[in-house]
Amino acid sequence: MRVISGLARGRKLETPRGDDIRPTSDMVKEAVFSIIQFDLQGARVLDLFAGTGQLGIEALSRGAASCVFVDAANDSVQLAKRNVTTCGFGDVSEFYRADAEAYLARCGKFDIVFVDPPYGTDLTEKALQKITAFDILNESGIIVCETRTECALSELSAPYEKLKEYRYGKIKITTYTKKRLEG
């Protein structure tokens, strides 16, 4: 596992032991960052269910201003910290060992939110509901969800809307945005 592009391009990231963390494949990661490439510069990013931290690190490497890494597992938070340190982004990163729903209830606003929980759970849907309920996305912000292809994610209440779904083998990327208010 490595950083694909940007300031930390080519840096190897520490991988998890065992099967508790499922890192995003390089092919899917490259696709995700092609989708959001014009929204990264100066963005405040949330890497929810951070695992190794690779999505947030890739965002920082490509020009995001800051990233908050959140995971309920202490081992994952420590792994993300080590990977962030390896890439030199410690000064623009924050780490929280917290349940995603609890964190979303007290966090600020973000421009990009990555939602990539363990497959086979309802955590993606729960996170989406909390993101909209607590309105944590800035106008024109983007939510990027990674799930299995058979996972159907719901539409969200306005001003949030589903943008598009992309399929990469057995993986589906679903994007949402918060529409800019008229007037």
Q: Is residue 170 part of a domain?
A: yes
Chain segment 34-59, per-residue pLDDT in tens: 999 999 999 999 999 999 999 999 99
Tally of domains within the chain: 1
Q: Is residue 120 part of a domain?
A: yes
Q: What is the pLDDT of residue 19?
A: 56
Provide, rounded to the nearest whole percent, the portion of the chain with pLDDT above 90. Answer: 86
Q: Is residue 137 part of a domain?
A: yes
- pLDDT of 24 > 80? The answer is no
Q: How far is CA 155 from the centre of its chain?
A: 19
Can you give the residue range of the structural domain that contains 120? 26-178
- pLDDT of 9 > 90? The answer is yes
Q: What is the pLDDT of residue 16?
A: 77
- Determine the angle formed by the axes of helices 26-35 and 54-61, rounding to 10 degrees: 50
Chain segment 148-157, per-residue pLDDT in tens: 999 999 899 9
28, 163, 180 from 35: Cα distances, Å = 11, 11, 19
Q: Is residue 59 part of a domain?
A: yes
Q: What is the pLDDT of residue 120?
A: 85
Q: Is residue 68 part of a domain?
A: yes
What DSSP designation does 170 have? T
Q: What is the CATH number of the domain that holds 36?
A: 3.40.50.150
Q: Which two tokens stand for residue 139?
A: 């106008």
Per-residue pLDDT band at 161 (split at 50, 70, 90): very high
